[in-house]
Structure 1
Amino acid sequence: MTGHVKRFPILETKRLILRKITTDDARSILSYLSDKEVMKYFGLEPFQTLEDALGEIAWYESILHEQTGIRWGITLKGQDEVIGSCGFHQWVPKHHRAEIGFELSKLYWGQGIASEAIRAVIQYGFEHLELQRIQALIEPPNIPSQRLVEKQGFISEGLLRSYEYTCGKFDDLYMYSLLKRDFDKIHRSL
């Protein structure tokens, strides 16, 4: 099977270890997913209980089991606490595409951590999941996430009007994409 995940991969960057999230991480996840600013463009209300966090972890497990996605916990080297997550969902191996998603505890914003994690996940997707296209759906007011994906080489393909109904409202979303050939070209020039 194309890009099948057999054993959960651990990704390492200069400052980070990206690893599988377990139920032991529920308190860490609750601490940042209960923050209104972190959840502003997440499509869910801020988490309030440990059960909310356990539900999120169960979703990570389900997409991995169903082979429709994979989500890594972001940890700093030498510290095992999950400070955010990054990964793929809406993975369609037949069409070699997936959607990327990410969030990070506000305590770590502006330090290049999300960028470092996303780069590692993108590289894994192209090299091991045999993706040809990675897309990101981002709300128009979420300028920091738009800048983050643009820095990785993503291109805006247009606005999807009233694309999602979340938190009692319809949201427009920008569709961004990064193709493997563009990623390869960017990295050859570095």
Structure 2
Amino acid sequence: MKTEFPVIETKRLILREVTTDDANDMLTYLSDENVVKPMGLEPFQTVEDVWDEISWYKSIYEEGTGIRWGITLKDSGKVIGSCGFLNKLTKHYRTEIGYELSKDYWGIGVASEALEAVVKYGYHHLQLERIEALIEPTNIPSQRLVEKQGFIREGLLRHYEYTRGKFDDLYMYSILKGDVNFN
């Protein structure tokens, strides 16, 4: 049985479990081509599409293969994105990190604040040694985001995944526990 879903608080944000009550807020950004294309997804069309995403978040948490927090602003409680781990391999002490954020909040440090908090949570509470980020070569803002957090680009994975009817190359980034300043 899983423990209570952890909540992470930062200066401006509360990272928490999302529920079906958050579906309309989530549809706002998950229906945006600019937000979901780097994730290899088509824009969501309906609240039901979002419910499927919420179900996936719940399933990876219950299975122990990941955890996905809704990014909410302290002042409104509105879900404006998500950040978390997926494809967690406990025996290898590693996981991938993923995130997306409503375009309305790009460029003001929200993604950086959430990413830093989630990375630190992973090292403090999940016994991780390595966190990976897989990013399309054309997604320069995401590359800058992880590099600012201390991730190192290790190389290019050619035709690493098949999404939206094509093969995608992805850069492999990683950060190791010893790379993180826990102050």
Amino acid at match of 2:165: G
Q: Which residue is 1:129 aligned to?
A: 126
Q: Which residue is 1:155 aligned to?
A: 152
TM-score by length of 1: 0.94
Distance 1:97 1:42 in 2: 20
Distance 2:25 2:73 in 1: 13
Shift of 1:40: 2.0
Any gaps of 5 or more consecutive residues in structure 2? none
Local SS of the residue matching 1:26:
helix
Match of 1:29 among 6, 16, 26: 26
Q: What aligned pairs does 1:92-107 form with structure 2 within 5 A after superposition? A: 92-107=89-104
Distance 2:10 2:2 in 1: 20
2:61 is the alignment partner of 1:48: no
Q: What aligned pairs does 1:1-190 form with structure 2 within 5 A after superposition? A: 6-184=3-181, 187=182
Conserved 8 A contact 2:2-2:62: no
CA RMSD of aligned residues (A): 1.1
TM-score by length of 2: 0.97
Deviations 1:104-125 (A, max 9, x none): 0000000000000000000000
Q: Which portions of structure 1, spanning 4 or more consecutive aligned residues, are displaced by more than 6 angstroms?
A: none
- Aligned-pair identity (%): 67
Residues matched between the structures, number: 183
Moved more, 135-144 or 35-44: 35-44
